[in-house]
């Protein structure tokens, strides 16, 4: 009986010692995660609410053909970017954020479009680069409203933010788009993380 107990204890001890080694080896051999982009990089969405009207912002980051075919590889050491097997480390010199703004009645049981409210005309934007916890302003940008056809424009608006100088900005930095009230209060914040 004592011999069986000792054998079982030795077996349990061996399993306890070897199992973590196998687990850590399996984790080390996990293939890197690869993400391939299309023409645009979706950003997080934002919302500005005034009374019972909500304006929801759906921004996408783009720059001609820069993002098409760009691949991000994530490993334990960090993220790397390649396009056609060439290492890419920085954003292109100019970028655009196209924002589809949809206006609706907040908290309605079903989606209920609302006319474009006046408060959308008074919003201000701030665009920044984020590295770790540090924010720095984008060199230069402009915002323009794109006209839509009559049947589309009742409860939608398209805004384009042109970022004029993104030279030498590392692709590992995040792009932060902030919507501000006329008095500078933050109403919503959206981020692009390629």
Domain shared by 25 and 100, yes or no: no
More confident call, 117 vs 8: 117
- Per residue in 56-66, pLDDT (tens digit) is 999 999 998 99
Q: Assign 193 a pLDDT band (cuts: 50, 70, 90).
A: confident
The boundaries of the domain holding residue 24 are 1-30
Secondary structure, 3-state, the chain: CHHHHHHHHHHHHHHHHHHHHHHHHHHHCCCCEEEECCCEEECCCEEEEECCEEEEEEEEEECCCCCCCEEEEEECCEEEEEECCEEECECCCCEEEEEEEEEEECCCCCCCECCCCHHHHHCEEEEEEEECCEEEECCCEEEEEECCCCCCCCCEEEEEEEECCCCCCECCCEEEEEEECCCCCEEEEEEECC
The region of weakest confidence among 121-125, 147-151, 157-161, 168-172 is: 147-151
Q: Is the pLDDT of residue 177 over 80?
A: yes
- Please, what is the average pLDDT of the chain? 85
Q: Is residue 88 part of a domain?
A: no
Q: Single out the residue of 99, 91, 109 nearest to residue 166, CA to CA.
A: 91
The region of weakest confidence among 3-17, 119-133, 156-170 is: 3-17
Domain shared by 130 and 171, yes or no: yes
Q: How many domains would you assign to the chain?
A: 2
Q: Is the pLDDT of residue 13 over 60?
A: no
Residues 120 and 117: their CA atoms lie apart, in Å, by 6
Q: Is residue 116 part of a domain?
A: yes
The CATH number of whichever domain residue 141 belongs to comes to 2.60.40
- Per residue in 88-116, pLDDT (tens digit) is 999 999 999 999 999 999 988 888 888 88
Q: Is residue 78 part of a domain?
A: no
* 81: its two tokens: 């970017």
pLDDT at position 9: 53
Q: Is the pLDDT of residue 17 over 60?
A: no
């Amino acid at each position: 009986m004592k011999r069986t107990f000792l054998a079982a204890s030795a077996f349990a001890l061996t399993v306890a010692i070897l199992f973590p080694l196998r687990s850590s080896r399996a984790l080390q051999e996990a293939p890197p995660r690869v993400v391939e982009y299309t023409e645009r990089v979706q950003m997080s969405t934002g919302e500005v609410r005034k009374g019972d009207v909500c304006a929801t912002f759906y921004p996408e980051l783009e720059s001609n053909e820069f993002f098409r075919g760009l691949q991000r590889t994530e490993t334990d050491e960090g993220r790397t970017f390649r396009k056609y097997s060439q290492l890419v480390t920085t954003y292109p010199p100019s970028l655009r954020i196209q924002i589809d703004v949809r206006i609706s009645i907040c908290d309605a049981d079903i989606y209920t479009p609302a006319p474009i409210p006046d408060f959308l005309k008074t919003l201000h934007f701030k665009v920044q680069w984020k590295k770790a916890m540090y924010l720095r302003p984008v060199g230069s940008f402009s915002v323009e409203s794109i006209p839509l056809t009559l049947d589309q424009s009742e409860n939608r608006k398209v805004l384009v933010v042109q970022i004029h100088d993104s030279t030498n900005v590392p692709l590992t930095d995040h792009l932060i788009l902030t919507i501000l009230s006329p008095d500078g209060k933050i109403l919503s914040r959206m981020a692009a993380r390629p």
